[in-house]
Amino acid sequence: MIKQFIDKLMGKAPKSNKPHFGRRTEVPASVHGIDPNLVDDRAINVTRTLQQAGFEAYIVGGAVRDLLLGLRPKDFDVATDATPEQVKGLFRRAFIIGRRFRIVHVVYGRGRDNEVIEVSTFRAHLDNAAAEQVKGNERTSKRQLEGMHHAVDSSGRVLRDNVWGPQDEDATRRDFTVNAMYYDPESQIVVDYHGGIPDAKKRVLRMIGDPVARYREDPVRIIRAVRFAAKLSPLGFKLEAKTAKPLTQSATLLADVPQSRLFDEMLKLLQTGHALASIAQLKKLGLATGIYPLLDVVVERAESAFVQVALADTDRRVGEGKPVAPSFLLACVLWADVREGWAKRLARKEHPYPALQDAIDEVFDARIGDVSGRGKLAADMREIWMMQPRFEKRVGSTPFGLVEQPRFRAGFDFLRLRTDIEEVDVRLADWWQEFSMASDSEREDLVQAAKAEQQASQVGKPRVRRAPRPEGAAAPRSSAGQSEVSPAAASPDAGDDGAPKKRRRRRRKPGAAVDQAGESGSAE
């Protein structure tokens, strides 16, 4: 009280615990220069529908940043003051998803051609002081109080973020200034609270507020900083020094983040078209190890020929708008472990296919662990690996069955990458490429040609020749004391009178896996 009285006499303004939410600046089209033709029609439809219903609605985040840079965004997000339930009620195909962050997916189109516009409600900025202030507000609704329960822990980490608030607080709770701008496609005005437009022009990636506190609120922002630095580095963006400095010391906070969330963030680093650049940023920022064990393996093996080819191929596919699967990339990263474990088992004379299966199980337990979605992920990775020895078999019915497998294309792409590093003869991949695209009759011809090639390869091998013996003479004995008999006599199909003997079915040993043709797999 006395200090406040003295401060008042001295003309000092009392300190406020309320964070600085920035000053609203409306920038017209004549200044920001966004081309309206770059804006997706479906995003415009979402904002227009919300505005016509009496709500505020803006395109927000990375889409606005890309529009300012003259780029056509791949994804469009919308922010509004409507609650998820109110948004859902305005659209025929809209779904509320998430628990920690409840958002609405508005879906346009069908099947693979569908497009999702993600709609989020303006959220309140939460730190410990703000959380207590909201709890103590008499106007806070019961629903908001339920959302506030355990919203922030004692260290300042945000646990739940479903407390709605005004736009200025929503802007403050976003991570970087260039991601905290709002674009109204109707008025073509950009709303900027934290100098995002100047930072975009200067190519600066700057955290809103105190970086140390922001990383503590949500440690995953550490990984996001790396990802955005990698994504925007080709455009000349650099992390601001104050934003980059606390990254290394804050990395220990990631230990409290659920493993499933870290796994998802790792996939975003590797599958958004900037995998190689992300790994370079991790090394540059001193985060090459310690974020997530499997990511440590990726960074460590990024210099190896096979993983580097796989990462570059993933970046290329994303750049071309083609789909990518985490199972394929992780199968490439962990192939060295599988191959080593398989080779050790083969050296112990284990059956090839069970040996490969055991090696795969060992790698899953050691490297993947228990993460969300491992069942589907593991099944796809296992199928890619188990196909590799089957590609060696190009005769019989094996090729016809293999090419019809749902994951054949992934397995073949894996084989093709192996040829790129000369682990496999390129002629094998070329044969399968031709076989997969051929007609039924052409496939028969290819199999016959492969069979003839296989037989020709046996021609040059030495064969044991025996001198003919007189009729009725006793069969000579070998050095081991056993009689040498003719192939006919040694055949189990021949009886004492020379007539064919009924074949007895051999019982298969337990655990001996066979391919689709019923033949044992190659040991190579």
State the virtual CA torsion across 444, 449, 450, 455 in degrees, nearest 10. 130
Asked if residues 161 and 123 have their Cβ atoms less than 8 Å apart, the reply is yes
In the chain, which stretches have pLDDT less than 70? Answer: 1-20, 100, 112, 126-162, 369-374, 459-524
The pLDDT score that the predictor gives to residue 365 is 86
Q: Token pair 């440690």 is at which residue? A: 219
In Å, how far are 476, 484, 494, 495 from 487, measured between CA atoms? 14, 9, 10, 13
Examine the residue annotation and report whether 315 is marked as an active-site residue of this protein: no
The pLDDT score that the predictor gives to residue 19 is 54
CA separation for the pair 137, 262 (Å, rounded): 35
Q: Token pair 């939410």 is at which residue? A: 21
CB count within 10 Å of CB 272 equals 18
CA separation for the pair 123, 108 (Å, rounded): 25
Asked if residues 175 and 224 have their Cβ atoms less than 8 Å apart, the reply is yes
Examine the residue annotation and report whether 370 is marked as an active-site residue of this protein: no
Q: Write out pLDDT tens, residues 113-155.
A: 789 999 999 998 765 344 444 444 444 444 444 444 345 555 5
Q: Token pair 């090394």 is at which residue? A: 283
**Parts of the chain belonging to CATH 1.10.3090.10:** 211-303, 328-457
Examine the residue annotation and report whether 75 is marked as an active-site residue of this protein: yes
Element (H, E) at 115: strand 115-121
Domain 211-303 has CATH 1.10.3090.10: yes
What is the CATH number that goes with domain 17-123+164-202?
Answer: 3.30.460.10
Residues 6 or more apart whose Cβ sits within 8 Å of residue 401: 515, 516, 517
State the virtual CA torsion across 83, 84, 90, 94 in degrees, nearest 10. 170
The pLDDT score that the predictor gives to residue 371 is 57
Residue 83 corresponds to which tokens in the numbers above? Answer: 């609650």
CA separation for the pair 244, 28 (Å, rounded): 32
CA separation for the pair 436, 416 (Å, rounded): 13
Q: Which fold has domain 328-457?
A: cca-adding enzyme, domain 2 (1.10.3090)
The pLDDT score that the predictor gives to residue 190 is 97
Residues 6 or more apart whose Cβ sits within 8 Å of residue 300: none
> Looking at this protein, which amino acid is placed at residue 72?
R
The pLDDT score that the predictor gives to residue 463 is 52
Find the catalytic residue in 77, 192, 218, 515: 77
Find the catalytic residue in 40, 127, 175, 413: 175
**Parts of the chain belonging to CATH 3.30.460.10:** 17-123+164-202
CA separation for the pair 258, 371 (Å, rounded): 9
Find the catalytic residue in 75, 184, 296, 420: 75
Asked if residues 123 and 163 have their Cβ atoms less than 8 Å apart, the reply is yes
Q: Write out pLDDT tens, residues 226-247.
A: 999 999 999 999 999 999 999 9
Phi (first) and psi of residue 253, to 5 degrees: -65, -20
> Looking at this protein, which amino acid is placed at residue 317?
R
Asked if residues 93 and 218 have their Cβ atoms less than 8 Å apart, the reply is no
CA separation for the pair 360, 338 (Å, rounded): 6
CA separation for the pair 524, 517 (Å, rounded): 18
SS3 state of residue 277: helix
